[in-house]
Amino acid sequence: MSFTIAVVGPAQASPDEAAAAQQVGHHLAAAGHTVLTGGLGGVMQAASRGAAIADGTVVAILPGMHRSQANPFVTVAIPTGLGEMRNALIVRSADAVISIGGSWGTLSEVALAVRTGVPVVMLRGWDLPKAPWSPRPPGRRWN
């Protein structure tokens, strides 16, 4: 049986995250599964590269309007023009999600998957950047 597995993670991946993503992509494709990503760099490109090495199929759901934005290892590029909102399409198109490393976009994909019952496997966790806003002072209400 073949599945569509989303591999998600930061576009600015560490060398360890990229190496793990390439291995995951390779193993998924070698087992006959379709690899689904956001189609850009970092973890997405490394997973795509691994799948391509195994002659697998890589589908990319892109944030922009042009197929040319996809990394060179993508088999099928789907431009959406949705920006980060395309994360919901990635999750809803996947039978399972593998998260490698982390970023705010990755967090949204994991949250959507958990919320909608799509199985999630997380590798290497994540170190989220500091929020660009300050927390609400205690006892103060937002109006």
What is the pLDDT at residue 138? 54
Would you list the DSSP string of 12-59?
S--HHHHHHHHHHHHHHHHTTPEEEE-SSSTHHHHHHHHHHHTT--EE
Q: Could you tell me the residue range of the domain that residue 46 belongs to?
A: 4-123
Report yes or no on 137 lying in a domain. Answer: no
For the chain, the domain total comes to 1
What is the pLDDT at residue 125? 73
Report yes or no on 129 lying in a domain. Answer: no
In the sheet where 34-37 sits, what is the strand order? 76-79, 58-62, 34-37, 4-8, 96-100, 120-123
Report yes or no on 138 lying in a domain. Answer: no
Q: Strands 76-79 and 96-100, how do they pair?
A: unpaired
Q: pTM for the complete prediction?
A: 0.87
Q: Mapping DSSP to helix (H, G, I), strand (E, B) and coil, where does residue 136 land?
A: coil
Report yes or no on 132 lying in a domain. Answer: no
Report yes or no on 142 lying in a domain. Answer: no
What is the pLDDT at residue 102? 84
Report yes or no on 135 lying in a domain. Answer: no
CATH number of the CATH domain containing 101: 3.40.50.450
What is the pLDDT at residue 132? 59
Segments of the chain scoring below 50 in pLDDT: 140, 142-143
* Displacement of CA 21 from its chain's centroid (Å): 10
Report yes or no on 70 lying in a domain. Answer: yes
